[in-house]
Amino acid sequence: MPNKLIIGTETEFGIMSRKIDGYDPVTSSLFTINHLRPFSALRILWDYENEDPLVDARGFVVDGEKERPTQDENLNLNKPLENGGRLYVDGAHPEYSTPECTNPRDVVIYEKAGEALMHLCLENANRLRKEEEKIFLYKNNTDGKGNSYGYHENYLMLRATQFEKIVQSLTPFLVTRQIFAGSGKVGTDNKADPAAFQISQRADFFETLIDLNTMAKRPIINTRDEPHADPKQFRRLHIIVGDANMAELSTYLKVGTTALILQMIDNEHFITGLELDNPLQAIKAISRDLTLKKGIKLANGKEYTPVEIQRAYLEEAYKYFGSMERDPVAFEIMDHWQEILNRLEKNPNELSRKIDWLIKYDLINNYREKKGFDWDNPKLAMMDLQYHDLNPEKGFYYTLLKDGYIDTMVSPGLVLLAKDSPPRDTRAYFRGMCIKKFPKEVYATSWSSVLFDIGNFTIKRVPLLHPLKGTEALVGNVFNRSETAEDLLRNLAA
């Protein structure tokens, strides 16, 4: 079993400019990511060799065309990063993937580093643009008109774990975790029932329970089975139901609590008896109940509030992790989880400095009351959008943070470091260090490989099929001993 968690997230950013005539989101996305200076001067391909997004976790392969861009397109679309992550364009959005991390604090750090890198792109890209043509980027998930773009979490799990067991144990958890992981939203989307303000950005978009699709008829449980690792040993659970968060505690709890539940499932500690009567209805109902007091119907006929359901998971986690050798990462997650659930139950308003939907609600509702606006006033929808603006001068999350209205979890110094340094305890270390140390010789990278072109006609491929190998502990010395890429390859083979 993996003795460590492996977690990574992908964020698609919303993009626009004030001028609509002649504006094209794909061109603007490419323009943005190609302004990551000085980094974009490097020409490193993305290696699509091991990618197969059409394999389904339920055990079959779906028909469809695989994406395979030409070499020039590939270079234009992909910016493998020194921190082991990846910046790229997916469809009509710029997207950032964190490197593989072993704990939720690192995920927070690398997501914040991603926001900083996107901001760097934005500053460079906008330098020569006219005011009307300047690009705006948003870390959110909806345009308020029925179009959603994703925030995906990835967790490494054991191949041996049955997919049905994951679905059964995990669904009630995913449906209810929005109470601390939701980013908040003014209004509704996708023809869903009306609401003035919702907890979740994404809840309105889920129409099925389980499916391979991520773009239409979105499922609560996504079945993409593309492990980016040895497929005999591992699966990668691809969770698409979450919101992108600005608040550090929301990101930390979202990935931390989910990782704990998945670790329990991987070790056959299943959570039963919480199956929901109608998960699709529940996810939308919970998003609309800002009091958190309404009961959700379970399959067994009982009714629990979302806090009670989360508490049941927390109790299972304390039971499971309490019986093992003490894991400080797990206990830190559970202690935060418990504190937040207590506050959500007693007085959610106390969390208006800590978790996104309550920070946002507090801000917008106070403004609304002061101005005497109704909830459908466009200024409030603008505030909702602008909360997620990646420009620190404009984005309300950042301005609130600067003025001392938000509590954070990670140090700004670590975020700064994470812009160009990989985590030390996963294979991201090897990938990131290769790019950092040998930028000219690295020909291509992917999640599971680094390819070198050292000028002798053949491309050398170093496979990275195990996410916990290639760490600083295992290869740090090899990098120290290698002056050139040729040395590195020779020392790795020795």
Partner 1 sequence: MGQQEREKKKSKDKTEKQAEANPEVVEKGKKIKEDIDELLDKIDDVLEENAEEFVKNYVQKGGE
Helices marked H in 277-377 — which ranges?
Answer: 279-288, 306-322, 328-346, 356-371
Interaction with partner 1 in 97-156: which residues (CB under 8 A)? 142-145, 147-150, 152
Interaction with partner 1 in 446-485: which residues (CB under 8 A)? none
User: Whose Cβ is closer to partner 1: residue 23's or residue 270's?
Assistant: 23
Beta bridge partners of 155: 7, 237
Site string for partner 1, 179-218 (x = CB under 8 A): -----------------------------------xxx--
Tokens linked to 241:
């139901």
Using CB under 8 A as the binding rule, whether residue 53 contacts partner 1 is answered as no
Using CB under 8 A as the binding rule, whether residue 440 contacts partner 1 is answered as no
Task: Give 46's contacts (C-beta < 8 A, 6+ positions apart).
Answer: 74, 77, 78, 80, 86, 88, 444, 445, 446
90 catalytic residue (yes or no): yes
User: Whose Cβ is closer to partner 1: residue 159's or residue 371's?
Assistant: 371
Question: What are the distances in angstroms from CA 177 to CA 147, 405, 439, 467?
Answer: 23, 24, 41, 27
The one catalytic residue in 52, 90, 143, 407 is 90
User: Whose Cβ is closer to partner 1: residue 325's or residue 369's?
Assistant: 369
Site string for partner 1, 238-277 (x = CB under 8 A): --x-------------------------------------
- Whether the upstream peptide bond of residue 423 has omega within 30° of 0, thus cis, is no
Q: Which of 461, 479, 460, 480 is nearest to 470 (CA)?
A: 479
Least distance from partner 1 to the Cβ atom of residue 221, Å: 15
Q: Which of 18, 43, 159, 319 binds partner 1 (CB under 8 A)?
A: 18
191 burial level (CB within 10 Å; 0-12, 13-18, 19+): exposed
Residue for token pair 């629990």: 304
User: Whose Cβ is closer to partner 1: residue 1's or residue 215's?
Assistant: 215
Interaction with partner 1 in 380-409: which residues (CB under 8 A)? 381-383, 385-386, 393-394, 396, 399-400, 403, 405
Tokens linked to 270:
């299943």
Q: Which of 51, 207, 18, 206 is nearest to 130 (CA)?
A: 18
Separation CA 348–CA 341 (nearest Å): 9
Using CB under 8 A as the binding rule, whether residue 20 contacts partner 1 is answered as yes
Interaction with partner 1 in 299-358: which residues (CB under 8 A)? none
Let me know: does 64 contact 213? Beta carbons within 8 Å: no
Q: Which of 112, 140, 152, 137 is nearest to 28 (CA)?
A: 137
Using CB under 8 A as the binding rule, whether residue 295 contacts partner 1 is answered as no
Interaction with partner 1 in 76-105: which residues (CB under 8 A)? 90-93, 95
Q: What residues line the site for partner 1 (CB under 8 A)?
A: 12, 14-16, 18, 20, 25, 90-93, 95, 142-145, 147-150, 152, 214-216, 240, 363, 366-367, 370, 378-379, 381-383, 385-386, 393-394, 396, 399-400, 403, 405
As annotated, the active-site residues are 90
